[in-house]
Amino acid sequence: MLRAVAIGLMVVVHFVENLSGWYDGGSGPFEGVHRVWWLPTGFAAPLFTVLSGMSYRLWLGVQMRRGESAETISKRTVRRGLFLIGLGFAFNVFVWLPEDVFNWDILTLIGLGLLVLDVARRMPDWVVVLAAALVLAVSPALRVVADYPAFWQAGYFDYDFTLVDVLLGWLAVGYFPVFPWLAFPLLGHALAAWLFGEEVDEQVDVRGESRSGRVAASGIAGIATAFALTVSWPALPAAITGEAALGWTMFPASTAYCLGTLGTVTLAAAALHRVLDRGGQRWGWLLAWATPLSRHALSMYLLHHVVHVWPLWAWGVVTSGETTALWQVVMPPAASFALAAGFLVAAAWLFRWLDQRRMPSAESLMRWVCD
Amino acid sequence: MIVSDNDQCDEGRQLPAGLPAEAVLRRLLLPCGEELLLVAMPQEHDGDGQPPHGTPLLAEAATAWVAAATPAATVISVPLYGCHVVWAPGRAAVIGAPSRLEALATAVTDFADREADLRHLEQRCAELLESLDRDAPHAFAVDERTFDQRDALAARFREAVAVRGRLARAAPAVHAPPVHPPTLASQLGERLRDRTRLAERHEFAVDRAELAERLYEACGQRAAEFGIARRQQGLEWAIVVLLVIQTTLLIVDLLARGAAT
């Protein structure tokens, strides 16, 4: 369900931002001169990345229960990671055009996350959490060292095709660099173990409820910390805040932003686990529509870009000879929001139809190639 | 131990048909927790000290009644110096002169208690053996999934130790040498022990409990070693993570300097 929410949010945000919005690197998700104020920008990517870690943990449990060897699991994980990284580069080339091939978007991050999770699964959970905390902690320093503002022009990641820029973009200054975004799949991996535990136990109901309560409490703590950081940020000395550690920003992903979105995802996961997973058949109708969206989240991610970005490029070339001429100015936000809603309904129907006929999708292709 | 006699017997435990009215039905709660229904049937002997002609009929009726409680169990029937004792788990009947009945009843009750105790221990050994094949690999190697089962393994180890302890406590009674000079009660006890192979069963049970104890002790050692190794491995991983973070800081610093120059 949470993955369906994530893909829904992502579709709406991308439609509105690419067709009507305006990036402003220095403002928060709900404010900014050119930003559409009602758009919940900045929550879809954390949801996706945390869920990639949670899904991996659940997938891992299934593989182990099937008796798959550690070597087989590693091979599948690495192949899936490399598949997503390759797909991410292809996506950058074909959707964002070749000059953005190394913009380090979310697919390459999730692919890298899978490679790292193949190592992290061998670690105790407390080490995984420690690694995520360290990643979060050193990220502001890395941005300062790498001179983050020098890579960003008018709210976009603007790099040269040099090894240094590409590597710095991957590590610290791209759209979704390893630091701090790797913390999200790592924490998702640990969160799944904390939230679900050994679900085969007969006493799962009693222990599960207390567990989801503690998980929800930690989510609230994360949100509260983020709020405190955001409010107190202007009052903190510059030596602490640093040049690139702003109050609440997605680009760069500030500490407050990371903690706030992690808290929100944790709280949502705990709440939905309690309400939906333990709600029996009461929510069957909702899950019947959410499941195809969740199951085909990767296909949805690719498809929704193709259906709204490619026509935008084509129409820009036809009307002005410039591919990006109409980007973010082609229609008012209400119209792009309506298009996004229409796309979601059509996609839910399409993927249900595909499932009924067992038609191939990006996910089945990945399984065919990697498993 | 005597819980009730004829007057207080509840329905279904009335004096069986075909037995003399003088017979007394007792419901006894044995120390091991099991219940024993005991019928004592007094029978006057003839003038020459021989049992009356009706004894075989009484023994037959008593055997039928004893066997009715536990049809699957073997009924032990022991004629002894003009008396007759019939026993099966849960029921017993003693037939004899009134002066001997109390001694016979005491001997049967003692034996029934030991036998029931051993039977319970055998059952617990059988349950341990059932999980033995499944748990045997854990005595050699432990992984994450096995480590999560360490509470269950520890519980089985405690059970094996508890069973061995109970068997050790039961050993003196089971392997007691014959009493000298012999009495009617001691001879009855010895015969019942022989007929039910109590000593051999006790030895087999000890062997099984030892096997389970050895296995689960080894499982416990493996689990403890795995726990220690895992803690050490966690610290090693933490050091690796710190080194990776430090290396990344160094690389970013070098790259940034390279970009600046």
Task: Return the residue of A nearest to B246 by Cα.
Answer: A138
Please check whether residue B254 lies inside any domain of the structure.
no
Tens of pLDDT, residues A291-331: 877 888 888 899 889 988 888 888 888 888 888 888 888 88
Mean pLDDT is lowest, of A203-207, A213-217, A288-292, A354-358, for A203-207
B2 has a chain A CB within 8 A of its CB: no
User: Mean of the pLDDT values across residues A267-287?
Assistant: 75
| Domain span at B85 | 2-239
Q: Is the pLDDT of residue A200 over 60?
A: no
In A, which residues are within 8 Å of B252 by CB distance?
Answer: 142, 145-146, 168, 171-172
pLDDT of residue B4: 47
Q: Report CA dihedral (A314, A317, A319, A324) to the nearest 10 degrees.
A: 90
Tally of structural domains, chain A:
1
pLDDT of residue B85: 92
C-alpha neighbours within 13 Å on the C-beta side of residue B219:
28
Q: What is the gyration radius of the CA atoms in chain B, in angstroms?
A: 31
The pLDDT tens digits of the residues spanning A98-148 come to 888 998 999 999 999 999 999 999 998 999 999 999 999 999 889 988 988
A201 confidence band (pLDDT: 50, 70, 90): very low
**A168 touches B: beta carbon within 8 Å:** yes
List of chain A residues whose C-beta atoms are within 8 Å of the C-beta of residue B143: none
Considering only CA atoms, which of A254, A188, A231 is closest in space to residue A54? A188
Q: Is residue B141 part of a domain?
A: yes
Chain B closest-CA separation from residue A30 CA (Å): 32
Q: Does A136 touch chain B (CB under 8 A)?
A: no
pLDDT reported for residue B239: 95
Is B92 in a helix, a strand, or coil?
strand
End-to-end CA distance of chain B: 99
CA of B73 vs chain A CAs: smallest distance (Å): 36
User: Which chain A residues are within 8 Å of B248, Cβ to Cβ?
Assistant: 138, 142, 171, 178-179
CB pairs under 8 A between A and B: 57
Q: Which among B238, B245, B259 has the least Cβ separation from residue A164?
A: B259
Q: Which residue has the higher pLDDT, A240 or A100?
A: A100
| Residue A263 distance to chain B (closest CA, Å) | 24
Cβ neighbours, 10 Å, residue A76: 18
Classified as helix, coil or strand, A362 is helix
The residue ranking higher by pLDDT, A134 or A287, is: A134
Q: Burial letters for B61-83: b for 16+ Cβ neighbours within 10 Å, e otherwise?
A: bbbebbbeeeeeeebbbbebebb
pLDDT tens sequence across B25-40: 888 999 988 899 999 9
A70 touches chain B (CB under 8 A): no
Question: How much of chain B, in percent, has pLDDT values that exceed 90?
Answer: 44
Query: Does residue B260 fall inside a structural domain?
Result: no
Give the pLDDT confidence score for residue A278 in this predicted structure.
67
User: Which range scores top for mean pLDDT: A12-26, A136-150, B201-215?
Assistant: B201-215
Residue B243 at interface with chain A, using a CB cutoff of 8 Å: no
A131 contacts B252? CB cut-off 8 A: no
Number of domains in chain B: 1
- Asked if A198's CB is within 8 angstroms of B148's CB, the reply is yes
**Assigned domain for B252 exists:** no
Q: Does B141 touch chain A (CB under 8 A)?
A: no
> In this model, does residue B120 exceed pLDDT 60?
yes
φ/ψ (deg, to 5) at B40: -105, 120
Contact call for residues A304 and A15 (beta carbons, < 8 A) = yes
Q: pLDDT band at B257, cuts 50/70/90?
A: confident
Inter-chain touch B237–A142, beta carbons under 8 Å: no
Q: Which of A163, A164, A166 has the highest number of chain B CBs within 10 A, making it the mutation to test binding with B?
A: A164
> Average pLDDT for residues B64-79, to the nearest whole number?
81
Residue B145 touches partner A, C-beta closer than 8 Å:
yes
Residue reference for tokens 């503690």: A214
Q: Tell me if B157 is assigned to some domain.
A: yes
Helix %, strand %, coil % of chain A (to 5): 75, 0, 25
- Check CB contact of A126 with chain B, cutoff 8 Å: yes
Is A172 near chain B, with CB under 8 Å?
yes
B7 has a pLDDT exceeding 50: no
Beta-carbon count within 10 A of A24 CB: 16
B257: in domain: no
Task: List the B83-88 sheet strands across, edge first.
Answer: B2-4, B24-29, B35-42, B91-96, B83-88, B76-80
- Partners of residue B239 in chain A, C-beta under 8 Å: none
Range of the domain at A321: 2-196+203-370
Residues of B in contact with A66 (CB under 8 A): none
Say what percent of chain A tops pLDDT 90: 30
Check: CB of residue B115 under 8 Å from CB of residue B170: no
Please indicate, yes or no, if residue B122 is contained in any of the structural domains: yes
Q: Confirm if B161 and B213 have CB atoms less than 8 A apart.
A: yes
Whether A127 and B252 lie within 8 Å, measured CB to CB: no
CB contact under 8 A, B148 and A146: no
Residue of B nearest to A129 (CA): B238
Q: How far is A123 from chain B (nearest CA, A)?
A: 6
Residue B78 lies in a domain: yes
Say which of B148, B238, B253 has its CB closest to residue A145.
Answer: B253
pLDDT band at A156 (very low <50, low <70, confident <90, very high): confident
Asked which of A199-208, A271-280, A281-290, B90-99 is least confident by mean pLDDT, the reply is A199-208
How much is the average pLDDT of A201-224? Answer: 70
Average pLDDT estimate for A1-13: 81
